[in-house]
C-alpha cells in the first residue's frame, strides 16, 4: 500500500489539530480572563451611569418613577467596583467574589419582587 503526499499531510494535520485547538482555546480563555479582570469596573460604572440617567430622566420629565432601575444600577456599580478591587489584588479570594455576586443577584430578585 503506497501512501501519497496528500494522505501523509492529512494524517499529520489530524494529529496536530486537537493540540492546536486546545492551544487556541487556552489563549482565548486567558484573553477573556484578562479583559474581565481589567475592565469589569469601568463596564459596571458605564452601565450604572446609563441606568441612573434613565431613572432620573423618567422621574423628572415624565413623572414616572423607575426607582428600581436606579437602585439596581447603584448596586451593580458597587458590586463591580468591589469585584474589580478584589481581582486586582495579588491573591484574590474567590469566595469573596462569589459572595458579592450572590448578594447582587439576591438584591436584584428582591428589587424585582
Q: What sign results for the dihedral spanned by CA atoms 81, 33, 98, 69?
A: positive
- Indicate the pTM of the whole model: 0.68
For residues 80 and 45, the answer to whether their CB atoms sit within 8 Å is yes
Confidence of residue 38 (pLDDT cuts 50, 70, 90): confident
**Is there a contact between 65 and 59 (Cβ–Cβ < 8 Å)?**
yes
Instruction: For residue 29, give every residue at least 6 positions away whose Cβ sits within 8 Å of its Cβ, in sequence order, or none.
Output: none
Residue 17 has pLDDT above 80, yes or no: no
Residue burial 42-62, b: 16+ Cβ < 10 Å; e: rest: eebbeebeebbeebeebeeee
Q: Are 104 and 79 in contact (CB under 8 A)?
A: yes
What does the pLDDT look like over 39-89, one tens digit per residue?
Answer: 888 999 999 999 999 988 988 888 877 788 888 999 999 999 999 999 888
Q: Is the pLDDT of residue 8 over 60?
A: no
Supply the pLDDT for residue 14. Answer: 55
* Per-residue pLDDT at 4: 55
Residues 6+ apart with CB under 8 A from 86: 92, 93, 96, 97, 100
Amino acid at each position: 500500500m503506497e501512501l501519497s503526499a496528500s494522505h501523509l499531510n492529512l494524517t499529520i494535520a489530524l494529529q496536530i489539530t486537537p493540540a492546536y485547538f486546545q492551544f487556541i482555546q487556552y489563549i482565548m480563555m486567558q484573553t477573556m480572563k484578562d479583559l474581565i479582570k481589567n475592565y469589569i469596573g469601568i463596564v459596571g460604572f458605564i452601565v450604572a451611569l446609563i441606568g441612573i440617567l434613565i431613572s432620573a430622566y423618567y422621574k423628572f420629565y415624565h413623572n414616572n418613577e423607575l426607582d428600581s432601575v436606579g437602585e439596581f444600577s447603584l448596586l451593580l456599580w458597587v458590586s463591580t467596583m468591589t469585584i474589580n478591587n478584589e481581582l486586582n489584588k495579588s491573591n484574590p479570594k474567590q469566595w469573596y467574589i462569589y459572595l458579592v455576586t450572590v448578594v447582587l443577584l439576591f438584591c436584584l430578585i428582591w428589587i424585582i419582587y
